[in-house]
Amino acid sequence: MGQTEARATAVRETAETETVPQPVEMAVQERRFNLRKLLVVIVLYLAAFWTLVPMYWVAISSIKSLRDLAHIPPRFFPTDPRLDAWVTIFERRILENVYNSLVVATLATVICLIIAVPAAYAATRMRLPFKFVAIVVGLMGLVALLPPIASAIPLFLLGSDLGIIDEKYTLIILYTVLNTAFAVWVLRGTFMDVPMDVEEAALMDGDTRFGAVRRILLPLIFPSLFSIAILLFIFNWNEYIIALYFVNSMKTMTLPIAIQAQIPQHELDWGVVSAAGTIAVFPVLVAAFTLQRFLVRGLTFGVASGQ
């Protein structure tokens, strides 16, 4: 875009401070050549390449023949694709592990949010002193701060005393507990971004406190809430160390443990492990794509005010 044109846009902008920017003008601005933007895009593509290549590698390894798997230099495209590994993995009832993981990760996420949303609401809206909130949430989060291996052993001892080892609900409880502090802290920030005024306006308009939260606050923070839910789900879906202690049988075995179980003492079949890995990555990918849509929405969804 030429200088004159840029100046014309600037003039138009100052003249229209009271009006809303027109779509046409925004399009013009977007088309402007921008070296910085180009660099950003290049870096992003490199980063995407960096993360996507391992996923691609796992996926193609699951359909490679043994010869291709062992080939040096490594082959980027399988020459002789086959589904043996996938047959094996389904024969080993991987779908039951997927089911276990889904149940545990979903329920732990939902329960965590059911606890964390009211807690975060109280922490931001009830005029509690910051120190008090920080200490309470800090204590809640203390277990999660330890390296998982350090907390897993005492938790396991506790669990075995209570006789609740090898139960799905035990995993659900543990994941919920470990994530709640994190969820409260993030939600607290989210709630603080919604001006108190908007909620008070609802009270003045005749709503109850609960109604104001349900009809005004929650819809406003929904994109953030959804993003947090997906993050929690991914944490739970990928959790390995605690599950390692608390899973004893197929009844409770979650995917990360199942993948580990595909690695026998002798004769490692990379194809089978890769197939299991592909299955494990799939929901995370779906979640990430949904998350991305909501993250963008969350950023552009400003709370209107004259300030």
Partner 1 sequence: MAEVRIEGLTKYFGDTCAVNQLNLVVRDGDLVVLLGPSGCGKTTTMRCVAGLERPTYGDIYIGERRVNDLEPRERDVALVFQSYALYPHFTAFDNIAYPLRLRKTPKAEIDRRVRDVAEMLGISHTLERPPGLCSGGEQQRIALGRAIVREPVVFLMDEPLSNIDALLRVYMRAEIKRLQHELGTTMIYVTHDQVEGMTMADQIAVMNQGTLQQLGTPSEIYDMPANNFVARFVGSTPMNFIPGSLQKENGTTVHKSDQFVIPVSAEMAGRAAELCPSGVCTLGVRPEEIHFTMDGEGANQARVFLLEPLGSETILDIEKEGLLLKVKDVASTQVREEDVLSLSFNRFHLFDDETGAAIR
List the one residue out of 16, 216, 242 whose CA is nearest residue 121.
Answer: 216
Show the tokens assigned to 185: 């802290």
CB of 21 to partner 1, least distance (A): 10
List the one residue out of 103, 112, 147, 140 whose CA is nearest residue 237.
Answer: 103
Q: Which is nearer to partner 1, 163 or 206 (CB)?
A: 206
What lies within 8 Å, CB to CB, of 196 at 6+ separation is: 125
Helices of type H across the chain: 3-15, 23-31, 35-61, 66-70, 84-91, 94-125, 130-145, 148-162, 168-193, 196-204, 209-212, 218-238, 241-246, 255-261, 270-300
CB of 18 to partner 1, least distance (A): 5
Q: Which is nearer to partner 1, 2 or 302 (CB)?
A: 302
Q: Which is nearer to partner 1, 164 or 198 (CB)?
A: 198
**Rounded-to-integer distance, Cα 243 and Cα 178, Å:** 13
CB of 215 to partner 1, least distance (A): 8
Q: Which is nearer to partner 1, 83 or 201 (CB)?
A: 201
**Residues found near partner 1 in the complex (CB under 8 A):** 18-20, 195, 197-198, 200-208, 211, 216, 219-220, 301-307
Q: Which is nearer to partner 1, 55 or 122 (CB)?
A: 122
CB of 16 to partner 1, least distance (A): 10
CB of 135 to partner 1, least distance (A): 19
Tell whether the torsion through CA atoms of 212, 214, 215 and 220 is positive or negative.
Answer: positive
